[in-house]
Amino acid sequence: MVSPAENSSATQSPPGDIVHAMRDDGSLSAEHDPGLSTQQVVDLYRHMVRTRIIDERLVTLQRQGRIGFHIGSLGEEAAIIGSSFAMGEQDWIFPCYREFGGALMRGFKLQSFIDNMFGNANDAAKGRQMPDHYTCREARWGSISSPIGTQMTQAVGFAWAAKIQKKSLACLVYFGDGSTSSAEFHNAMNFAGVFKTPSVFFCRNNGWAISVPVERQTASDTFAEKGVAYGVPSVRVDGNDLFAVIAVTRAAVQRARDGGGPTLIEALTYRMGGHSTSDDPNRYRARDELEPWVERDPIERVRRHLQAKGAWSDDQEEALRTEVDGQFREAVANAEKTPPPSLASMFEDVYAEQPWHLKEQCQQLLSGARAPKAH
């Protein structure tokens, strides 16, 4: 069966250029089988389902007016979970903003994530960022910022420092197809290619940059081929194939650690929802465009694989969904009981030692009149 990715206007090179591991019957090809144990596949499947459930619940919270914003990963779970799984504990990841599932898998606490969604006093960003803009040093997960592509140069700089310090690690940076039009993409790719930094550029080609389709984003046949100009080896992979994503990311990470320099991965997937909860894709996308991608839902593909091996049942599915729903409800209840950040916190983390003028401004703020609570 030919995948929708191979029929899209953004992928005009021969289908053989796209790495696949899963066959139509759920079995794996020997060439790109990453050699996972059945338990590892079960664990990864659980992370993928958990990610989707949390996505759906957060959209509901936003529609209820309980949080202000969410940007999800519906349909892109294999690309995110698979690539994050392929990274070692010592490696660093610089996210875009859809990859919370990978952060949770690497140790980011669900409660910390939900606290960020509410911007309360326990939010690591202290309410200064919009929802879905978090960080977790313990998980070696960089902070998220909204400007397009800035994480790419940050990731390359971090990787260059690691190379100078002779540390055996790789840095993976996530970005969407729209970010390839930014100056940061050029700067990061060029620097990484020249200095052979241990970088893995992971482009989630999900078909859309908000409402801009890929055919209006680039004149090149693929995004992967952009690596040629920078001397960066590139690979295209079925981003809805968990096993293929793990295989190509592992190879890129090993190459980076071995001193071989950067790799550009183009993961062909599809954004099955809107860009964010502020977006209505039905205004610019035909409804029937989703149909072939629903058939290649990455979660359903892994479920079929496990069921064919007798490793997953309907009872396990129901128990998993009940478990995740309970954890999510508890985290939300805790977040909603937590007060907002203190007013004084906006003056913190600016200087190591707070200068006199900030102390003065803080005191004026705290002693001044307060707006009505309903303001």
Compute the distance between CA of residue 122 and CA of residue 338 in angstroms, rounded to an integer: 7
275 closest CA partner among 134, 176, 356: 176
**20 is an active site residue:** no
Q: Which of 32, 275, 296, 301 is catalytic?
A: 275
Taking every pair of Cα atoms in the chain, the longest distance, rounded to a whole number of angstroms, is 69
- Alpha-carbon distances, residue 79 vs 11, 65, 283 (angstroms): 17, 30, 26
Rounded to the nearest 5 percent, the helix, strand and coil shares of the chain are 50, 10, 40
For residues 71 and 277, is the Cβ–Cβ distance under 8 A? Answer: yes
Is 271 catalytic? The answer is yes
Type of residue found at 189 = M
Q: Residue written as tokens 């020249």?
A: 194
Distance CA 365, CA 375 (A): 17
Question: Alpha-carbon distance 60 to 69, whole Å?
Answer: 11
* Residue of 23, 128, 284, 329 with catalytic role: 284
Q: Can you list the alpha helix ranges (DSSP code H) found in the chain?
A: 4-7, 38-63, 77-85, 100-105, 110-118, 150-164, 183-195, 242-257, 291-294, 298-308, 314-337, 356-367
The yes-or-no answer on residue 284 being catalytic is yes
Q: Which of 271, 296, 301, 305 is catalytic?
A: 271
Round to whole Å and give the CA distance between 113 and 225: 36
Catalytic center residues = 271, 275, 284
